[in-house]
Amino acid sequence: MLKVPRHLFVPDYLANQAYLDSPLPIGYGQTISQPYIVAYMTSILEPEKTDKILEIGTGSGYQAAVLAEIVDSVFTVEIIDGLAEQAQQLLKLLGYGNVWVKSGDGFHGWKEHAPYDKIIVTAAPEEIPQPLTEQLKEGGKMIIPVGEKYGYQYLILVEKKKGKVLKKNMLPVRFVPFTRDED
């Protein structure tokens, strides 16, 4: 996280607040997560050098950049075209050649590159999207906030072990809602 220039991932007028431990608006009604939460979710996944990771909710691209510093490749999906484009340009400018950004509804994951060692979701659905569980490797981990829109939500750790899907509540959180293309 010390390597990733967070001030470049927030609007210019907020650059002076980029190193506070706080979420910040990034336009389109969305936010860049609080650094504590980025660090927490990253560490829960226990990312390894060889990992291929799927992120749903690219936003500013900051979480993708933090992961890209550690792992082999990051595939990230963002439902708001403007944010996807902006993040893609910034990540390219900063030399993150191991991040691929796609604009679309992340409910469906990113099938072409599945299965993934780890999956990270940074917007909160009311239930875990089934395609994401399907695209997780055996032995893989997913961290996802689940709960009511703007209400009670929990970060859930999902692990696929011996064909079984195990779920564990980790931390109460507040994320922006997971939206759908039909909305």
| Catalytic residue numbers, as ranges | 33
Q: How far is the CB of 115 from ligand SAH (least distance, A)?
A: 19
Q: How far is the CB of 99 from ligand SAH (least distance, A)?
A: 12
Positive or negative CA dihedral for 125, 4, 8, 104? negative
Q: Which of 51, 78 has the CB closer to ligand SAH?
A: 78
Q: Which of 68, 166 has the CB closer to ligand SAH?
A: 68
Q: Which of 18, 158 has the CB closer to ligand SAH?
A: 18
- Positions touching ligand SAH (CB under 6 A) are 30-33, 56-57, 59-60, 62-63, 77-80, 83, 105-107, 122-123, 176, 178-180
